Structure 1
Amino acid sequence: MMDQATSEVLHLQQGRVNLSFENDDVKKHKEQPVPPEEHQKSSPQQEGTAEEREQPQRQQWSNKREFLLSCISMCVGVGNVWRFAFVALENGGGAFLVPYLVVLVLIGKPLYYLEFILGQFPSAGPVDMWAICPAFQGIGYGQAFSTWAVSTFYVSLMALCLFYFFASFSSVLPWAVCGPWASSGCVPVYPNATLPEGQETISSAEEYLVKEVLKVDPEGFQNGIGLPDWRLTLCLLLSWMLIFMAQMKGIKSSGKTAYFTALFPYAVLLTLFIRGVTLPGSLKGILFFLTPHWEELLTPKVWFAAVNQAFFSLSIGFGVVNTFASYNNFRNNVYLDATIISYTDAFTSVFAGITTFSIVGHLADQMGVEVSQVVRGGGMSLAFISYPDALARFTFLPQFFSVMFFLMMFTLGVGSAVAYNTAIITIISDRFPGLPVWRITLGVCVVGFLVGLIYTTPQGQYVLVLVDYYSGGVSILFLMMLETMAVMWVYGLQRFIRDIHFMLDRSTGLFWRLCWGVFNPIFLAVVFVYSQIQHQGLTYGTYVFDGIATGVASILAVTAGGLVPLMFLKEVIKRYDTSKGLRRALIDVFSATSEWSPKDPALRQEYHNLQATENKATERRLSD
């Protein structure tokens, strides 16, 4: 007979709260179980299985290629072309590749693999996958909110690419000359006038972007929010229309779109690479990009930048990776997928960086200045100032290369924007399975367009900087940290490894155990704390955001993070029973429900039988 203390231990160990690692000698199907069957039946989230059978069958990818290409299209976005090169440049040049590759192996790939498993095992989106531990369901909602906010400004960048795409069909590229919008210090691509000595100069490409396209208000928010620019508004509308067309049939249509959005950019990038390395001065640009400054490796900010780049590039923590995996066959080898995609993304980043700086080196050679003087002002200036300026200097068909470059940029944007939207659409369709996908997609696109209008105003770029930091940076990092801790320290590393073995028939080695169980959650916590300590305020050019602007924008991060405790309370209240008390509700809310199992009825029954067997084995072990 078990005494009261032993009974309590058993009660807590049967899959409810697991804040430490289980013994490694418990192999394969011998880990600590989830709650016993009799307790699972009483869980509020496990009712209505008969109704679930009547619901429309969940979509699946038409084939493995569409899944892989969709993931590559999601990861290989505009950030690979402009962000990686600039981040590397600011953090040690070629030496940045060392921390980036280390972070990719120790954090990027393990977390990517983790998110694949979380989506594929229960065939559920970013919210419903938290049947693994309902207490943290708010993480899914927080990620969805942040992803939606990021998608609104991401599509505005696509609109900007579209604007430049259409402008590239001009007989003379408009940013190559100083138009009526130019200041007295404007310097065209081919100067035909001598400026007074001491006159402050600015390139025509920069003035074109700031004054003619964005019409940036130098006073920031002092004059309030202005009216949207009609040209950018039309480009924004067209961007959202194309996204809707790509997603109107769910992954069945977006999967077909991925053939183009994933492969076409590589064709253009290769063309630009071949053209770039044959230009005068290209070698100087490439060496500037790859020359290492090893002393930078000793500074924490370089490693922080590497983590940020890995998250941004791989789309980790946005709820997108697990969403795509949720449409896979249960037995799909996501380990191989994670390896292919993470290394493809890294290769593309480096290749795009070399291509970019070969062209930037040519620009520096043409201007007679150092490369460092050409690249300034952030990654966006690289894409919309330095690159256009360099393309305009091509002696052979500058319009053609400009059209191809901005079409490539737009295509990269479509792939990522479709992925972000898929996460949001999946959450809604999982909640309302009877609602046609095209209606959900239309609603998401219409709301996204209306919100995105703010980015077409003279203050749009200031808003973009704030949303990017508080939704795409702080929130995502915080939520990913919680996600890793919840799965590994609450649900349990050993239990999670058992699920991987059940799904893939694959053992999990020591490397993955250490990464998931120790290194990833601790390192993410350190990086998050460091980022908050070192944060010195946001700027856009020479404009410094005041406390009011950052205070209002921080609501985005507070909302995303605040959804975690809010949904925790909701789940506790839903489970609270006066006859059983609060303690039972709290234990319940940290327990995996029966929904954390395969969707296929036969596999689900097999998995539940495995759990029942483990429950009995645990009881016998504790009673001895």
Structure 2
Amino acid sequence: MGKQGSYNMGFDASNEDIKTVNGISNGVSSSPTNMMAINVSDKASTNNHDEINHDLEHGPERATWGHGLEFLMSCISLSVGLGNIWRFPFTCYENGGGAFLIPYIIVLILIGKPIYYYEMVLGQFVSKASVKATSVIPALKGIAIGQQLGVLCIVTYYTSLIALTLFYMIKSFSETLPWSFCWDKWTDVICIPADPKFQTNDGEKVVNGTSSSELYFIREVIKEKNDISDGLGFPDWQLTIYLLLAWIVIYLIIIKGVKSSGKVSYFLACFPYVVLIILLIRASTLNGTWDGIRYFITPDFKRLIEPQVWYAATTQLFFSLSVGQGTIIMFASFNRFDHNIHRDAMIVTTMDTFTSLLGGFTIFGILGNLAYSIGEEDIGNVIKSGGSGLAFISYPEAISKFKFVPQLFAVLFFFMLFTLGVGSAVGLQSAIVANLMDFFPKIKQWMMALICCLIGFVIGLLYVTPGGQWILNLVDHFGGTFLIFTLAIFQIVGIFWVYGIENFCWDVEFMLNRKVTKFWRFSWFIVTPVLLIIIFIYFLIKTENPTYGAREYPVTVLATGWIIFGVGMFQILLWISWSIIRDPNKCEAFKSLFRQNSEWGPKSPKVFKEWKTYKSERLEKRRAKSNGDSKIKKCLNILLDKYE
């Protein structure tokens, strides 16, 4: 293959008269239009030296899914996670109820599906995890590494939540659910037992009381501190054991990579639906259920004009679909080169939304019964909060009021949360392991997985301390949301504005043998990145320091959150600087960072050569048709696919 930057949309990067490479003119980025129009060099030459380098770069044979369905199930178990059950219903309720579905579906179509599809394309095309898959433009390497730091943040706190679900699931086998009654030592507060049979006030409504389920979670499970200025405290021994069990389960699933995780994916993807349907059927027989569902879907259309609602829809989408984390790229990298990922991307993104709605109907149906049972007319008053408050306080309280074997439904509910959590954690941890395996292929899969899981367990001890939920909330804000969202914007801009929309579409068409429609072209190049940038600017203007409940973080703790974000973002500058420092020709080294990596492409040497020939032919054909066209006209014609 030729030197870096060996393809261009109509201009020869090697021509001395044209100093343009990858959308950079005289070292300065011109514009998105110019970037698309001149992003790869015209020349498409091959030589033995590049073929040898390509073989060395791509190394030994890569494992593949035992069956294409394993990939689909793994993507479903990754994307359909805890966020669908305890985050989406609360976010929907907070942002206009049923009206929230309008911005959510619009954002799904214009942002969610395009990102999900393009991440699948990247992974499958080069058969590499995210760091090497996105290194088509070398400057993007730091972005993918920063994303993996964000993934490390997410998977470590995610596993601590899995530990909580294990704790509750085991306690659900008790003869009496431990959160259903008031413990004798809670004499300093007015406690309201979750199970009416333990009430001692002749059924009178207690004002300013605290439910036993809330007291149990705060005092007996997480043993929460009111303030963390004096430290986090020591890890709780019980939660530490459950945390260790959670990591052991994750390790056993990923010990052989996709060959082991693929088999388990069938259960992880399907079981939650069985439980959700059982719980929804059970809820439909209870008083107040339909009031809860009606409360969930009743639209407040006035909220649609609020930017906050659209921002909430976008962040929920990122959290739910697991985009911008490199996990989808990693899963797709184990596919056959011609696997139909377009179909799978549409299935997973649709199933994710369906699951969110199903989870919302189920959760609010049960909460409607809870409100009915305690005589509360406003269902919003029985919702403690989203996330852990909904999962470990409101819902357990509702289950306690079931007259028929509440233990059974508690076990089912928490086992469902456990499988949802494990499914997502397996994908997140696999992404970290796969990226490291790409750089250290001589290390055995089981050893790399063991090292990563041990590190994850040690970090996770922070979250099982009395101040753990404070830290979880902080890390989720800075590392799990802000960092991931910001890096995703940089990555999308790099792929579609620097590598180029035309190049990317040619790659898709070569791999899948199907035309890239105008919808995908406009979404990838204009709609998706522009919307994300607008939402990001809104976030910067409106953002405030995170709080835990109504309590503010100490300045030193907040600084830690900003350090997490800063370290992730610094990876971009760090790896760009490193590439320049180690090259004696600094100017050329900088330019090469924004040209196509000559070693990037399909893993198979045979397919790699065919791909180069294909792009060369497409380029010559397009150049012949676009001769004399202005850059703007070229840009529009490429988006409209008029050169074909």
Structure 2-normalised TM-score? 0.90
Partner residue in 2 for 1:297: 304
Maintained 8 Å contact 2:22/2:498: no
Letter in 1 for 2:121: I
1:308-360 CA-partner distances (Å, limit 9, x unpaired): 11100000101101111111111111111110000000000001100110000
Task: Summarize the Cα distance change of 1:416–1:5 in structure 2 as closer, same or farther, 3 Å threshold.
Answer: closer
1:409 deviates by 0.2
1:591 deviates by 1.3
Partner residue in 2 for 1:587: 591
Partner residue in 2 for 1:85: 89
Structure 2 runs not aligned, ≥5 long: 1-10, 629-644
Partner residue in 1 for 2:3: none
1:136 deviates by 1.3
Maintained 8 Å contact 1:491/1:592: yes
1:613 deviates by 4.7
Structure 1 runs not aligned, ≥5 long: none
Which deviates further from its counterpart, 419-428 or 11-20?
A: 11-20
Task: Summarize the Cα distance change of 1:620–1:299 in structure 2 as closer, same or farther, 3 Å threshold.
Answer: closer
- How far, CA to CA, are the matches of 1:466 and 1:171 in structure 2? 37
Letter in 2 for 1:336: R
How do residues 325-364 of structure 1 correspond to structure 2 at under 5 angstroms? 325-364=332-371
Task: Summarize the Cα distance change of 1:135–1:217 in structure 2 as closer, same or farther, 3 Å threshold.
Answer: same
The correspondence for 1:194, drawn from 176, 182, 201, is 201
Letter in 2 for 1:497: C
Partner residue in 2 for 1:424: 432
Is 1:610 aligned to 2:620, yes or no? no
Is 1:471 aligned to 2:479, yes or no? yes
Task: Summarize the Cα distance change of 1:306–1:200 in structure 2 as closer, same or farther, 3 Å threshold.
Answer: same
Maintained 8 Å contact 2:272/2:416: yes
1:546 deviates by 3.0
Task: Summarize the Cα distance change of 1:402–1:112 in structure 2 as closer, same or farther, 3 Å threshold.
Answer: same
Partner residue in 2 for 1:407: 415
SS at match of 1:7: coil
SS at match of 2:70: helix
1:487-523 CA-partner distances (Å, limit 9, x unpaired): 1111111111111111111111221111111111111
Maintained 8 Å contact 2:13/2:19: no
Letter in 2 for 1:322: I
Letter in 1 for 2:216: Y
1:406-458 CA-partner distances (Å, limit 9, x unpaired): 00000000000000001100111000112110000000100000110011100
How do residues 97-496 of structure 1 correspond to structure 2 at under 5 angstroms? 97-182=101-186, 183-189=188-194, 190=196, 191-194=198-201, 200-219=208-227, 221-369=228-376, 370-496=378-504
SS at match of 1:57: coil
Partner residue in 1 for 2:636: none
Maintained 8 Å contact 1:132/1:596: yes
Is 1:556 aligned to 2:561, yes or no? no
Which deviates further from its counterpart, 288-297 or 504-513?
A: 504-513
Maintained 8 Å contact 1:363/1:390: yes
Which deviates further from its counterpart, 462-471 or 377-386?
A: 377-386
- How far, CA to CA, are the matches of 1:489 and 1:23 in structure 2? 5
Partner residue in 2 for 1:95: 99
Letter in 1 for 2:296: F
Task: Summarize the Cα distance change of 1:485–1:42 in structure 2 as closer, same or farther, 3 Å threshold.
Answer: farther
1:126-147 CA-partner distances (Å, limit 9, x unpaired): 1101331001110110000000
1:562 deviates by 0.8
Is 1:527 aligned to 2:535, yes or no? yes
1:272-296 CA-partner distances (Å, limit 9, x unpaired): 0100111110011000000000000
1:166 deviates by 0.4
Task: Summarize the Cα distance change of 1:289–1:331 in structure 2 as closer, same or farther, 3 Å threshold.
Answer: same
1:262 deviates by 0.5
1:23 deviates by 11
- How far, CA to CA, are the matches of 1:198 and 1:178 in structure 2? 14
Letter in 1 for 2:609: Q
Task: Summarize the Cα distance change of 1:390–1:109 in structure 2 as closer, same or farther, 3 Å threshold.
Answer: same
1:163-204 CA-partner distances (Å, limit 9, x unpaired): 000000000000001114424301102243239998630000
1:588 deviates by 1.4
Letter in 1 for 2:267: F
- How far, CA to CA, are the matches of 2:82 and 2:100 in structure 1? 19
- How far, CA to CA, are the matches of 1:154 and 1:6 in structure 2? 49
- How far, CA to CA, are the matches of 2:47 and 2:98 in structure 1? 54
Letter in 2 for 1:185: I
1:8 deviates by 4.2
Letter in 2 for 1:465: N
Structure 1-normalised TM-score? 0.92
Partner residue in 1 for 2:73: 69
- How far, CA to CA, are the matches of 1:492 and 1:295 in structure 2? 39
1:542 deviates by 2.7
Partner residue in 2 for 1:540: 548
Task: Summarize the Cα distance change of 1:302–1:623 in structure 2 as closer, same or farther, 3 Å threshold.
Answer: closer
SS at match of 1:89: helix
- How far, CA to CA, are the matches of 2:98 and 2:309 in structure 1? 12
SS at match of 2:135: helix
SS at match of 1:378: coil
SS at match of 2:60: coil
Maintained 8 Å contact 1:16/1:491: no
Which deviates further from its counterpart, 591-600 or 112-121?
A: 591-600
- How far, CA to CA, are the matches of 1:401 and 1:6 in structure 2? 68
1:76 deviates by 0.6
Maintained 8 Å contact 1:320/1:420: yes
1:454-509 CA-partner distances (Å, limit 9, x unpaired): 11100000000000000111101100100110011111111111111111111112
- How far, CA to CA, are the matches of 2:452 and 2:366 in structure 1? 38
Number of residue pairs matched by the alignment: 609
Is 1:509 aligned to 2:513, yes or no? no
- How far, CA to CA, are the matches of 1:184 and 1:619 in structure 2? 77
Backbone CA RMSD of aligned residues? 2.6
- How far, CA to CA, are the matches of 1:519 and 1:256 in structure 2? 37
- How far, CA to CA, are the matches of 1:4 and 1:428 in structure 2? 36
- How far, CA to CA, are the matches of 1:127 and 1:116 in structure 2? 14
Maintained 8 Å contact 2:131/2:145: yes
- How far, CA to CA, are the matches of 1:571 and 1:277 in structure 2? 61
Task: Summarize the Cα distance change of 1:287–1:151 in structure 2 as closer, same or farther, 3 Å threshold.
Answer: same
1:600 deviates by 1.3
